[in-house]
Structure 1
């Protein structure tokens, strides 16, 4: 609920502070007094896009502050929370416009963007008037209005969920089809490459082992001759035999040497062990160096085949087996692809069927609710002296989407037999005001805590019709807050709170101010609205009669 508005240096407003109340708040005043400036200023602090030249001439900047009460379940709390802004029971909006056009906004003393302001404004204020393109006159919003009237949130949410499921299923199918198409384009290559890799069957580390083996075999002849010579020197006819003879000779005389040969004998025994180990290693090496000449050819052939295949596929030799696994997986996917595509198509068909059912249920509920809304609006038109007019909610087919397959438009025919058309294209100013009011009365019956602004919605009507308009506005205000800019004394008399907007000239400077009216002042203001500049006793009497109800 809007509790107050503080305006500084905006157009012809020098400084103005207003405090609003629940119920019906009326603002009256002569044409040009500045009533529209109040709405421009409120729209500015709410982030609405409007006129650019708002700063009062000669001022460095203009500033508007608005403060609201937020209930515990107010939707504005979610907007604040998502934007990371402080959330409290009181919401304070402040926006500054410099003379050079720069705009800065704060929410609860935290800087914020115009986008956040506009998101908040959608939860705070509803503006209705003959030039309102944000609300009832905008056909793009009629479907949501009908859904809210009918309480179709659950059915609509189910349709949206089904629509998302269709989107996910389509995306999965398209991706799978694209992947299959790409695999099919390289199917011949895949099958040839896998066959070639399977035939060779390269193993990680094999290329290095083959290279070592090849180099060893290439130098084996030269190495073997030297190793063989060393084996002969160390063998039984060489060092091993000589050490054995020395041990035998020394062992035979050791007893007579009084222990002098014990250490040499021990050393020779250790040397004998080491010689045995060395001889065994040499024998093993000789066996390794012994190979069939064709084995070198086989080794080189496999080594070159592995290296050649690695170059062909631009991978390392040790990565060939991993590369082969990847190709096999692609072939497996290709072979299983038709089955997968069939399953994905079945998933899409099921999702589409679920969406069609949800959308049809939503459409049926909308058609039923449209008749109820039409009946309710028609009932409201009679007291507004439009009993011959026809209001109809038209539902037509449109391309499927998250909110179903229905296009919704509120249409009117001002007289029986006349062609129906959109609200803002068929009805005159006064008729349009009454259509909007009748529609709004029907739409707010189950709503509470709303702050609505009606900008000269009673233009073009008077007498009993203006009184009916005022009573409908009062009815709406009974469960919320309504601000009405009006030239109708019948409407003004029904206000619970009344302000007069007036323009003054002082020292060559024109300013606009808003004066709260007490009971006697209300009599004079409504008398002025009835009689004009010259207020007569008769006009005051008529004003008192209106105020007494």
Structure 2
């Protein structure tokens, strides 16, 4: 469960450190006080998208940290281990920093992570139901995903989608082989000729480097030999050569150092220089003797280099890129050869179709009982949500094979007795959609292992006795996990185990949000405000006290 939320410089929040309790908690306050800002901050810590304006005006960055108890199920612990992240004695701390320029960074237990990793960890810890979440229920994709999630078949749905794509890809390849055989044959012939042309070069990068080095040496052999002769003459031939002069100087300094030992260092340097000059002379003579003036070999090498460069130029690459070009041609030719046999492709297509159908049937088997159970549970909930006699049905209708299986999923509803079932999007009013959406969220949340559930004004569009029933529904849900609810309904707030008030206050030139935990007397005042508006009377206070004192153990 969520233990602590620390917020710094986020929107209109200066600094907040909030310690949460278990059970069902209500967050209340005037419209615009910043109730949803707390949930937006928590959403960032859970890996949500950083929206523009997240950083408080005049500040460089917003910093949000959320501390959770490690769930007892063990899945998150295994996930942390797989990602080499520490388990800090049963605590998980998610941190997000958003800079004013839009850049953000994330940490888990002090270790830098990606936003994706932060979101994956957050999915194990909390689930936020936004105030417009029920509108998503009008979309077929959302309805299908909800049923698959209720059935525990999300992985099976993913497998069906993958099998469908594999089947369709093979079908496309088979059709292409049947209709484009002439074009494919021309491309195969061209590739085969190009591959043969490059393979004849027997091109090897290392041998190519050696060939260019040899070419450079042979092409410059005459000049190298002439230069070597000149240096040999200067260095070692004649009475005025460098080697002769060094030896003469060395003899002279050696005799002088016998008189003055201060010249010993000079003598040693000259001795070394004379030795090195002799060694250089011998090495240069050997190099000169090895130089080869071989015009025929030079012509042969130039022919080899010319052929390689001509072919490389023809295909608009440098010679060093020829091996990669050849490998690409070979892969393409292999693919064309494989796709040139419609019979074999048809066999592969049929095999992929059977694998898809088997996966789709397994998904259908998982969906049917889940759809039936969900239909009954939501129908039961509708009876207490001012829709007596109403019915809800998850309709599974056979359809042509798709990436989502072999049946369509559609939510149908009859809001009143004796009305026919019709698609949810066509018959539900705004209030009915809110109530049905809330029932679906609460019922599906019961199946979830997520320890913290957060509802952001999901009770919009309801009131009166229905609001009290919704409050009891959330209270019952809070008996098995932590539930947080931003609400404007006093009936819902009165059912909470604990309550916070969020208010805006002016500090100098700034308007900031503040959070105040409410004791019993303060809760009475806050619920009275929610009941009566600006003018709180003794009557509204008594009513608020009665609501708080009422038995909240009932369930929908």
TM-score for the superposition, normalised by structure 2: 0.63
CA distance in 2, matches of 1:377, 1:186: 60
Cα deviation 1:118-174 (Å, max 9, x = unaligned): 333333332223323897565423323212323446865775686587589779989
Is the Cα–Cα contact under 8 Å of residues 429 and 459 in structure 1 kept in the other structure? Answer: no
SS of match in other structure, 1:444: helix
CA distance in 2, matches of 1:528, 1:22: 25
Return the offset for 1:497: 1.8
Matches within 5 A, 1:316-335: none
* Aligned twin of 1:45: 45
Matched, 1:472 2:473: yes
Is the Cα–Cα contact under 8 Å of residues 79 and 119 in structure 1 kept in the other structure? Answer: no
Return the offset for 1:434: 1.1
Cα deviation 1:472-530 (Å, max 9, x = unaligned): 11122222121100111111111112111111123232111111112222122112212
* Aligned twin of 2:228: none
Q: Which stretches in structure 1 are left out of the alignment for 5+ residues?
A: 190-313, 315-332
Return the offset for 1:380: 0.3
Q: 1:475 to 1:350 in 2, by over 3 A?
A: same
* Aligned twin of 1:504: 505
Matches within 5 A, 1:16-165: 16-49=16-49, 51-77=51-77, 79-81=79-81, 83-88=83-88, 89-132=90-133, 136=137, 139-152=140-153, 156=157, 159=160
CA distance in 2, matches of 1:337, 1:545: 79
Is the Cα–Cα contact under 8 Å of residues 55 and 62 in structure 1 kept in the other structure? Answer: yes
SS of match in other structure, 2:30: coil
SS of match in other structure, 1:541: helix
Matches within 5 A, 1:427-442: 427-442=428-443
Return the offset for 1:455: 1.1
* Aligned twin of 1:221: none
RMSD: 4.2
CA distance in 1, matches of 2:82, 2:110: 17
Is the Cα–Cα contact under 8 Å of residues 126 and 135 in structure 1 kept in the other structure? Answer: no
CA distance in 1, matches of 2:452, 2:338: 59
Matched, 1:485 2:486: yes
Is the Cα–Cα contact under 8 Å of residues 130 and 433 in structure 1 kept in the other structure? Answer: no
CA distance in 1, matches of 2:349, 2:58: 65
* Structure 1 stretch displaced more, 81-90 or 478-487: 81-90
* Aligned twin of 1:207: none
CA distance in 2, matches of 1:79, 1:516: 35
* Aligned twin of 2:11: 11
Cα deviation 1:33-68 (Å, max 9, x = unaligned): 110211221222223225311222222322111112
Cα deviation 1:62-116 (Å, max 9, x = unaligned): 2111112222435444554555433453221112222333322222212222232
CA distance in 2, matches of 1:338, 1:448: 47
CA distance in 2, matches of 1:49, 1:68: 20
Is the Cα–Cα contact under 8 Å of residues 126 and 450 in structure 2 kept in the other structure? Answer: no
Return the offset for 1:412: 4.1
Q: 1:43 to 1:470 in 2, by over 3 A?
A: same
Q: Which stretches in structure 2 are left out of the alignment for 5+ residues?
A: 191-310, 312-333, 552-556
Is the Cα–Cα contact under 8 Å of residues 413 and 424 in structure 2 kept in the other structure? Answer: yes
Cα deviation 1:324-364 (Å, max 9, x = unaligned): xxxxxxxxx9xx99999756644542442243243134335
Return the offset for 1:32: 1.3
Return the offset for 1:31: 0.9
* Aligned twin of 2:201: none
CA distance in 2, matches of 1:175, 1:76: 47
Is the Cα–Cα contact under 8 Å of residues 430 and 461 in structure 1 kept in the other structure? Answer: yes
SS of match in other structure, 1:33: coil
TM-score for the superposition, normalised by structure 1: 0.64
Is the Cα–Cα contact under 8 Å of residues 170 and 348 in structure 2 kept in the other structure? Answer: yes
| Structure with max Cα Rg | 1
Q: 1:536 to 1:338 in 2, by over 3 A?
A: closer
